[in-house]
Amino acid sequence: MRVWGGVTSIVALFLLSAPAKADLQLLGYISFDNLIPGDVGSPGVNGFTIGNLTGSNDLPPTFNVSTSLTFLNSSLEFFTGTSSQTVFLGDLGFGFFNPFSLMFPDTDTFTSALFTATLDTTSLQLEGGGVFTAASNQISVWLTPSSGDLLVAGTDFALITVSDEASPVPEPNSLVLLTLIFLALLVCGHTRLWKCTITKMKDSIRV
């Protein structure tokens, strides 16, 4: 817990000092993960995960929205070369979602993915007080490779954010900062969660 406290303190200092043309609130993320490692003669399992880090699942001061948001009519479209497929996910409340419809053999490759949804409200209560009003209730997040042409499981992710201005363009320093924040959270905050998720998936596959 001391490590987690140190990380959040550093993040808070950076957020206070980072210049920005529009205020952003982080709501969650979409990631491409290696859920079950492969073995000799047996492919592993990769999958897309949607994380809604609001309400009781928030992680202040970084994911700071205490309102329990629902991503309405959500869907994920993933691309392989010139073809694509869309999976309709419905309404997603707070929590982590990686349904079987978003799991694939680790031999399948993807060039990008697009997550879309509608927020059930644009008035967001923040931890510690205050209200943030999003400029739009529409969410559209592209997940693209951090390097090369294909998504890499366990490496590539994108943050789900809302802004108080229409179509904001975060400054380069802000993008780097958000990436560092998210990586720190994954390392320090979610190790146990992923182990639990993978264990449950393995048990369900055995059954």
The pLDDT tens digits of the residues spanning 46-60 come to: 999 999 999 999 999
| Residue 32, pLDDT above cutoff 50 | yes
CB 76 within 8 A of CB 115: yes
pLDDT tens digits for 89-121?
999 999 999 999 999 999 999 999 999 999 999
| Residue 27, pLDDT above cutoff 80 | yes
CB 118 within 8 A of CB 80: no
Looking at the chain, the whole-number percentage of residues with pLDDT higher than 70 is 69
Query: Regarding predicted confidence, which is higher, 10 or 49?
Result: 49
pLDDT for 140 equals 96
Q: 114-148 as b/e, with b when 16 or more CB fall inside 10 Å?
A: bbbbebeeeebbbeeeeebebeeeebebebeeeee
Regarding pTM above 0.85, the answer is no
pLDDT tens digits for 65-81?
999 999 999 999 999 98
Q: What is the C-alpha separation between 207 and 204, in angstroms, rounded?
A: 5
Query: Regarding predicted confidence, which is higher, 53 or 196?
Result: 53
Query: Regarding predicted confidence, which is higher, 23 or 161?
Result: 161
pLDDT for 178 equals 58
pLDDT for 22 equals 58
pLDDT band at 9 (very low <50, low <70, confident <90, very high): very low
Which neighbouring-strand residues pair with 157?
A: 31
Q: What is the C-alpha separation between 89 and 166, in angstroms, rounded?
A: 26
Tell me what the pLDDT averaged over the chain comes to. Answer: 80
Q: What is the C-alpha separation between 162 and 137, in angstroms, rounded?
A: 8
According to the 3-state scheme, what is the secondary structure of the chain?
CHHHHHHHHHHHHHHHHCCCCCCEEEEEEEEEEEEECCECCECCEEEEEEEECCHHHCECCCECECCCCCEEEEEEEEEECCEEEEEEEEEECCEEECCHHHEEECCCCCCEEEEEEEECCCEEEECCCCEEECCCCEEEEEECCCCCCCCCCCCCEEEEEEECCCCCCCCHHHHHHHHHHHHHHHHHHCHHHHHHHHHHHHHHHHC
Q: 24-56 as b/e, with b when 16 or more CB fall inside 10 Å?
A: bbbbbbbbbbbbbeeeeeeeebbbbbbbbbbbe
pLDDT for 174 equals 54
pLDDT for 164 equals 87
